[in-house]
Amino acid sequence: MRISGLHIGKVFLTTAICMLLLALVFGVVSASIYIFPDFLKDNLGFISLRPMHVSAAMFWIILGATGCIYCVLEQGSTDKRIKRTGLIQWVLWVISIIGIMVSYCIKDFGGREYWEFNPIWALPISTAWVLFLINFYRLVKKISTWPVYIWMWLTGVVFFLFTFLENYLWLIPYFREHFITDMTIQWKVNGSLVGSWNQIIYGTAIFLMDRILNNKSTGSSKLAFGLYFLGLFNLMFNWGHHIYTLPTEPYIRYIGYAVSMTEWVFFVKIVMTWRASLSIVQRNYHYFPYRFIMAADIWIFINMGQAILMSIPAINMYTHGTHITVAHAMGTTIGINTMILLAACFTFFNIEEKSKYLNKIFWALQISLVIFWTSLNLAGVKKGIWQLSAHQESYSKMMDSLAPYFVTFGLAGIGLLLTLGTLGIVLLKSTSASTSNV
Amino acid sequence: MLLQVKPRHIFFALSAFFVAYSVSIYMRPYSIAENINFNKAKAGEGKLVWQKYNCQSCHQLYSLGGYLGPDLTNVISHPGKGELFVKAMIASGTKQMPPFKLSDKELSALLEFLKAADKSGKADLRNFKTDYFGMIEAK
């Protein structure tokens, strides 16, 4: 294939879907260790499987987000420089992914939580991201007035690079020798990194809604810009809510608390526009990709409500370090990010699926996710009570008592594997046949 | 003429605040205690051992980390636990945890890291109280 005919966005989306499939398989195998503690203990073990699952899931989101930006901005472009740079960016990602997965298999760790691979693999990832920034600039420089989603994408691209590099400050002894400051930076990074890819994915959701509704007003309204800046403000300063129990400077915790409470504005906005949203659902439900946006909206409502409550320190004391935090992370990753990315994939691959079969898969996915999320929350409530009880039984007894919730969570995880896996395979099958309709 | 505020002005202003806030955190590392009895450089090496063996996959520090094993922030000063307990657990493993073969140097650095964690504060959530604003503080 000639490079001018290469569709970089679709290349990234296809790779992202492969990562989704890997994340699902690793997730189910990892979850099984909660039920069968000896399973694979002396082989891969949980210490390899957990990062394999987490990294694959993060790469699904990051590569998916990258693919979405290219799919929108690259349309009609035959600029060979952009294609070549995008291709090098993709090759660097593929090299990193292979290296990272191999490093997990041979237990060559060294990084910190969520980025446990040998730090050497951060080099091709950051180089790929610099190339992405260059390509992003080339693609948007000719657009005179930016709709809000381009601002959101710029934010995501710039802040991902900044926080990803900040994530490696521990390589310098000055940082790692200050235990509390190092942990503060770690959770500053984690909060802002998630905020960065959320900016890209929420920006994509706004683009998709404008496209589905054939209306360009959403992405250009003052309200959209107001909410964008509030989101940016939260990306930058709300991360302190992760570390209320860490004995760091009190002002960091108070800033995190105060800024997190501004998220009530998003929540109130969702409630106030609920009725209008219902009529949009009724008008667009027939369009299959829209269903994922509809599902994401409901999961945003649920997860944002949970996040705001968890950001109140007096409540956070009961949820911190429990599976409620996992439920929130999974709820946002699958319920929001994955739903929006699936909507984008079905749109960009031009699949307007009307079969009852896929509709059933869609609803089975939502039911599996509800069971998955609920069982984790219930396990978290039980652990939260244990954490604050005056006479604690041993940790292992407490974990044993959570077994019924872990079994339910494992079964729901298999449900997610089957449903999301089916959707992923449908998308992969369509990639070769699809034509761009963006 | 009134200055017209454009998105880029707000973006750059917020970014400048963010960079300043980040730098302020880097420049003033939080001092965990005065006259503490551990070797900072060795504790820093111990952090690398913690990451090399991916302890964070299952264990937490200040309730941040994995969910399979217990929080290890205060394992060194916990009644009935301490250094010997940690050494025994690493060497023998548990129902879920495989045994780890650490070199003497690695083990010593890891214990120094856990000492630094222990000296930094109390992670037990029963050790906190709430104030009128809903903020929590160590008792």
CATH (domain of B124): 1.10.760.10
* pLDDT value at B32 more than 70: no
A414, burial (CB in 10 Å: exposed 0-12, middle 13-18, buried 19+): middle
Mean pLDDT value across residues B111-137: 92
Q: Which tokens sit at A375? A: 């069982």
Domain ranges of chain A: 1-142, 150-245, 264-310+312-438
Q: CB within 8 A of B135, min separation 6: which ones?
A: A244, A253, A254, A257, A313, A314
Question: Residue B31: pLDDT band by 50, 70, 90 thresholds?
Answer: low
| Residues recorded for chain B | 139
Do the chains contact at A116 and B68, CB–CB below 8 Å?
A: no
Q: Within 10 Å of residue B67's Cβ, how many Cβ atoms? A: 22
pTM of the model: 0.94
User: Which among B41, B61, B125 has CB closest to A183?
Assistant: B61
Residues of B within 8 A of A155 (CB-CB) are 11
User: What is the reported pLDDT for B37?
Assistant: 67
Point out the residue among A151, A179, A312 whose CB comes nearest to the CB of B134.
A312
Instruction: Pick the residue of B4, B38, B49, B57 with the most A CBs within 10 A to test the interface with A by mutation.
Output: B57
Show residues of chain A in contact with B32, CB under 8 Å.
178-180, 247
Residue B2 has pLDDT above 60, yes or no: no
Residue B113 sits in which domain range? 40-128
Nearest to B40 among A51, A170, A177 (CB): A177
Residues of chain A with pLDDT under 50: 435-438
On the question of pLDDT at B53 being above 80, the answer is yes
pLDDT tops 90 at residue B59: yes
CATH of region A264-310+312-438: 1.20.210.10
Interface of B with A in 85-114 (CB under 8 A): 95-96, 98, 113
Q: Which residues in chain B are contacts of A246 at CB distance < 8 A?
A: 62, 64, 121
**The token pair that represents A314 in the structure block:** 């007096």
The string of pLDDT tens digits covering residues A275-295 is 777 788 878 877 888 899 999
pLDDT of residue B29: 67
Whether A252 sits inside 8 A of B71 (CB atoms) is no
Best mutation target among B53, B54, B78 (most A Cβ atoms within 10 Å) is: B54
How confident is the prediction for chain B on average, in pLDDT?
Answer: 89
Would you call B25 an interface residue with chain A, using a CB distance cutoff of 8 Å? yes
DSSP 8-state class, residue B126:
G
Mutation target vs B (from A32, A41, A47, A241; most B CBs, 10 A cutoff): A47
Query: Inter-chain contact B18–A155, Cβ cutoff 8 Å?
Result: no
SS3 B48: helix
Nearest CA in chain B to A192: B18
Chain B, nearest residue to A147 by Cα: B7
Beta-carbon contacts of residue A37 (< 8 Å; ≥ 6 apart) = B95, B96
**Cβ neighbours of A113 in B, within 8 Å:** 56-57, 64-66
Q: Is B139 on the interface with A (CB under 8 A)?
A: no
| Domain membership flag for residue B56 | yes
Interatomic CA distance for residues B67 and B69, integer angstroms: 6
Closest partner CB to B14 (pick from A38, A175, A232): A232
> Best residue in B23, B47, B49, B50 to probe A by mutation, most A CBs within 10 Å?
B47
In a domain, B90, yes or no: yes
Domain total of chain B? 1
Which 3-state string (H, E, C) describes chain A?
CCHHHCCHHHHHHHHHHHHHHHHHHHHHHHHHHHHCCCCCCCCCHHHHHHHHHHHHHHHHHHHHHHHHHHHHHCCCCCCHHHHHHHHHHHHHHHHHHHHHHHHHHCCCECCCCCCCECHHHHHHHHHHHHHHHHHHHHHHCCCCCCCHHHHHHHHHHHHHHHHHHHCCHHHCHHHHCCHHHHHHHHHHHHHHHHHHHHHHHHHHHHHHHHHHCCCCCHHHCHHHHHHHHHHHHHHHHHHHHHCCCCCCCHHHHHHHHHHHHCCHHHHHHHHHCHHHHHHHHHHHCCCHHHHHHHHHHHHHHHHHHHHHHHCCHHHHHHHCCCHHHHHHHHHHHHHHHHHHHHHHHHHHCCCCCCCHHHHHHHHHHHHHHHHHHHHHHHHHHHHHHHHHCCCCCCHHHHHHHCHHHHHHHHHHHHHHHHHHHHHHHHHHHHHHHCCCCC
> Is position B124 within any domain?
yes
Q: With an 8 Å Cβ cutoff, are A112 and B56 in contact?
A: yes
A109:B52 CB<8 A: yes
Q: How far is it, in rounded angstroms, from Cα A237 to Cα A192?
A: 8
Instruction: Tell if the CB–CB gap between A243 and B10 is shorter than 8 Å.
Output: no
Query: Cα distance from B41 to chain A (closest Cα, Å)?
Result: 6
Write the residue in B7, B41, B95 that is nearest to A177 by C-beta.
Answer: B41
Rounded CA separation A340/A16 (Å): 13
